[in-house]
């Protein structure tokens, strides 16, 4: 199981998600406030992830400690109402 830090952030925010894994890379797809988001991990010599959590309409690559960076952004979002 990959992207565990991001999965924990999503669980903490009560955001449902779908997890898949292909070629050893994790992939998360989820909805928040009616918008579709993704975190797609890749490894092209170095690990990273493509995501649109910073701007729903635009994907960008995050390298380095990408799980921490993405998780921090998700945790900054408002809580979901129950």
Integer angstrom CA distances of residue 54 from 24, 26, 31, 58: 25, 19, 14, 8
**Number of separate domains in the chain:** 1
What range does the domain containing 49 cover?
4-75
So what's the pLDDT on residue 82? 59
**Banded model confidence at residue 16, pLDDT cuts 50, 70, 90:** very high
Integer angstrom CA distances of residue 3 from 22, 34, 50, 77, 81: 13, 23, 12, 19, 25
Tell me whether residue 81 is in a domain. Answer: no
pTM of the complete model: 0.93
pLDDT tens digits for range 45-79: 999 999 999 998 899 999 999 999 999 999 999 98
Tell me whether residue 82 is in a domain. Answer: no
SS3 31: strand
So what's the pLDDT on residue 76? 97
């Amino acid at each position: 199981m990959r992207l565990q830090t991001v999965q924990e952030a999503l669980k903490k925010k009560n955001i449902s998600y779908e997890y898949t894994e292909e070629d050893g890379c994790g992939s998360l797809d989820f909805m928040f406030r009616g918008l579709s988001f993704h975190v797609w991990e890749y490894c092209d010599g170095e690990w990273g992830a493509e995501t649109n959590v910073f701007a729903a309409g635009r994907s960008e690559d995050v390298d380095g400690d990408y799980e921490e960076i993405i998780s921090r952004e998700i945790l900054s979002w408002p809580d979901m109402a129950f």
